[in-house]
Structure formats: C-alpha cells, structure tokens
Structure 1
Amino acid sequence: MEQFLANVVWHALSGAHLKYSIGTDSARRYAPDFSPIIGFADPQWPDFQALRPFCETGEHFYCDGWSGPVPRGWRLEQEATMFKMLWDAELPDADAAPEATQLGPEHAAQALELATLTQPGPFGIRALELGEYFGIFDGGRLVAMAGERMAAGPLREISGVCTHPDHQGRGWAQRLVLKLLRREMRRGETPFLHVMSANEGARRLYRRLGFTEVRESVVRVVAPL
C-alpha cells in the first residue's frame, strides 16, 4: 500500500490509467481534457525535459511530491501542501444516496461547469471517463457530484466532490462520498482522497466519516513557458 501512496500519480498514469495518459517511461501526464496532472517515475528528480514535448504553452499542471528547483522552461504558479487520506472504517451498511444519478458523457458539460464554479481540484471535460461519478440534480441542473479519479494498485481515489453554493448544507457531498466508497470496498478496493492541508473543515469532515490522514506532501501548479 505504502509504495503506491508514495507516488500515487505515477502509479496511476503508468498503470491502470496508462490509456488515458501520454508521455515517456520517466514522465507522464493525463491526456488533454482529462485532468491536468503530471507524474514522474522519480518525483525527487523529475524529468521535465522528457515531459515538455507533450505539453502546450498556456497549460497548467498539478504536480504532487516534488519540491526541488523549478527547471528552465517552466514556471511555478502555486505551492501548498495536501494530505492523502485513507479509508479506515467498516463498510457502510447501505447505499447512502440511492437517488443519485450515475453521470455519463451527456453530463460532462454540466460537471465541468460545476467543478469550475466550486474548484474541488483539477478537472477536465473528460474527467467522468476516469471512473464512476454520481450526481444530484435539481430541476435538470447538476447541483452536487462526486466521483473517482486515480487508480493505483488496490487504491481508488474519490475526487471531484463538490456542491453548488446555492445547495450546500444538505449533506449531499457526504452521502455521495459514502456511496462511492461502499461501491469501491465491495469491489475489493481501498478508498482514498486528497485534501488541502489548509482546508481544516474538509479534513474534519473526512476524519469524522472514517478517513485517516496518512501522508502530507507538497503540491505545486506549474506551467510550461
């Protein structure tokens, strides 16, 4: 488990999500329109030179676990830290959100609009293809969603958790997360998620649900020049 957590992005991009990624045997990224995330075989010595031909000027990428000097030809735009939180509780007894709709390509535009508004993390128009996504609709409008992104060994990431500001306080995000992790555990997977270190409210919520903080790492946003 620890070997996958230590470099989960690379294990996803070079493993279960290889078909959704582009790059080399030392550096990869999710293909355009999926999720702007990059990973390296060795995050301590990231091979940005190998990655550059697969990136366009004007793109912005999230990078986990690298804190060294910014290489020539790239710009550091943001830096913070985040926690990987691992599920550490029993299987929920029942589906917490049976009314939720499974999202598909026909919902991609609404999902991207909601993610752009609420900023749950890096998200692309094809992100729904990376795993199962479920949403809550109000009069045909998507107002809450949660889904799956990275897969690495036994780990399955819960991601894209967000609720429209006009519909918060109803517990939809929590119920969607519980729905997803129950489905993952029944498939024999171990749910995990990322949460920014500064987001103490979200960290408290996830700890209360049954997640444990297991690893804190640097997260950076970089852009090719």
Structure 2
Amino acid sequence: MTHPLDRPVWSALTSERQAPLAVGAGGALRLAPGYGVFAASMDQSPQGVAAIAALDQPEGMLATVEADHTPVPPGLTVLKAAVLSQMVLVELAPAKARDIAIEPLTEADAPAMLALATLTEPGPFFDRTHRLGDFFGVKQDGRLLAMAGERLKPDGFTEVSGVCAHPDARGRGYAGALMRAVIERILARGETAFLHSYADNVGAIALYHSLGFTIRAPMQMRMLTRGDLAQGEPGA
C-alpha cells in the first residue's frame, strides 16, 4: 500500500483540511493560485500525467514532489529538478535554553513574510502561502527577522515549511527555536510532523536531525513550466 507521504502533494490536496484549496479537473489538482504551485495527478497513468499539463499556471510554473520518477507531462518542460530528503519527526528533542522571543504571525504580517521569503527563498512562497497553517516569527523593533510555519497537510501529517532567517540574523538559533514552536503545535493536534530538504543541504539536515527528525525517503522534486526558460533535467 502506498504511504501518504510517498505522494505528499496528492495526499494533501485530497485531505480533509486542504481539499478546499485544491483546484483542477481530469484527475489532476493543484493548490489554488496564491497559496502555492504544488500539483499532482490521481495516478501516474498517461491520462493522469497529461492532466497536470492542463492545470492553470498563473505563476508560470507548477511543482511536483513524488517518491518515484514520473514522466514529464506532455507540453511541459523541466525548469528545475532536485532530489529532496523527506524527513519525519520521531521524537522532539529536549529544548535548549535560549532567550528568543517567539510570537505568532498574523495576517498583518503577510507583507513582511512574503518579503522575507522572497529574499531568502525557503521554497515557493506567494501572497497567500502564509494562510496554509500556523506561522511563528522573531522580530526586532517590529522588523521580521525569521519565521517558520506549516504547508502541506495530508490527513494525520503536517509539513514544517517556510523556515528562513534574514541574512543579518543567521547563526542565532532562530530556525531551530521557530521550528520547535511549529512542531509543538502539530504534536498538540495529534499529528506527525514532516519536512523536505534538498538532499545536499548538509547543514539544514543536521539541524533537523538535532530536533528529532529522521530521513524517511528520497523524493523527486520538479518545477515544470510551459515557458521557454527550462534548462533541462539533470541526468536526463
């Protein structure tokens, strides 16, 4: 039986919590524009894969995350391809004593969140991405320095995402502290926390291990586009 996290995007887009944010037809779905560019088909049949190509792309791209290598949908080209390490929380490690003021982020923080994500590029982030779940941040004199939050929500699971810090504020332990705040909220709901990292991001993976995550599986990430910006897929 396929594990829900083998197809995290499809599992999220058909889940009780995030199905209302799914748009599409013909056996393929994507997050509603403004929330994200993640897309998936019901299965990997030629018809299912082709349905991805029919999805709207107002952002100029779509993103897929799958455990298995899948065909490129006809009419689309690969803008970027990468191997991700999917990690699942086994047990949250004991907290270290840190004097970090963490606060929940609200709709009023949305412009600052988008600006920070645009600067630091923690992953696809748009003007409504912050509405996918709870986000926490660290501010100094009203300026948002770091944040972390939630993204994909398959039934029983929640993805930790949007983890980033301004270049001026790195090395202060903000990422780990903010992730802990997000994880504690996930655990309080009786869910399992998971996340994705580029497989070659040794520093980030070491941080996630220190929090209690373990690598579950490699995942194949693709950014797909109808435009002429594609550079081809490594190894293809």
Does TM-score exceed 0.5, indicating one fold?
yes
SS in 1 for 2:13: helix
Counterpart among 183, 191, 196 of residue 193 in structure 2? 191
Deviation at 1:72, TM superposition (A): 2.7
SS in 2 for 1:54: coil
What amino acid does structure 2 have at the position aligned with 1:19? P
What amino acid does structure 1 have at the position aligned with 2:165? T
Report whether the alignment pairs 1:134 with 2:136: yes
Aligned to 2:38: 37
What amino acid does structure 1 have at the position aligned with 2:163? V
Percentage identity across paired residues of the two chains: 34
1:17-54 CA-partner distances (Å, limit 9, x unpaired): 11112012621101111011111222475724334443
Coordinate RMSD, CA, aligned? 2.4
1:37-83 CA-partner distances (Å, limit 9, x unpaired): 11122247572433444313661121112534423311111111001
Structure 2: where are the runs of 5+ without partners?
A: 228-236
In 2: Cα distance, 1:116 partner to 1:110 partner? 10
In 2: Cα distance, 1:173 partner to 1:149 partner? 16
Change (3 A) 1:116 1:51: same
In 2: Cα distance, 1:44 partner to 1:96 partner? 50
In 2: Cα distance, 1:71 partner to 1:2 partner? 22
1:130-154 CA-partner distances (Å, limit 9, x unpaired): 1100111112111100000111121
Deviation at 1:99, TM superposition (A): 2.7
Aligned to 1:75: 77
SS in 2 for 1:72: coil
SS in 1 for 2:152: strand
What amino acid does structure 1 have at the position aligned with 2:36? S
Aligned to 1:64: 65
SS in 2 for 1:184: helix
- Counting only pairs closer than 5 Å after superposition, residues 1-225 of structure 1 correspond to structure 2 as 3-15=3-15, 16-24=17-25, 26-43=27-44, 47-56=48-57, 59-65=60-66, 67-90=69-92, 92=94, 99-225=101-227
What amino acid does structure 2 have at the position aligned with 1:162? C
What amino acid does structure 2 have at the position aligned with 1:163? A
Deviation at 1:123, TM superposition (A): 1.1
Change (3 A) 1:201 1:94: closer
In 2: Cα distance, 1:89 partner to 1:21 partner? 31
TM-score w.r.t. the length of structure 2 is 0.87
TM-score w.r.t. the length of structure 1 is 0.91
In 2: Cα distance, 1:190 partner to 1:97 partner? 27
Deviation at 1:91, TM superposition (A): 7.0
SS in 1 for 2:183: helix
Change (3 A) 1:162 1:90: closer
Structure 1: where are the runs of 5+ without partners?
A: none
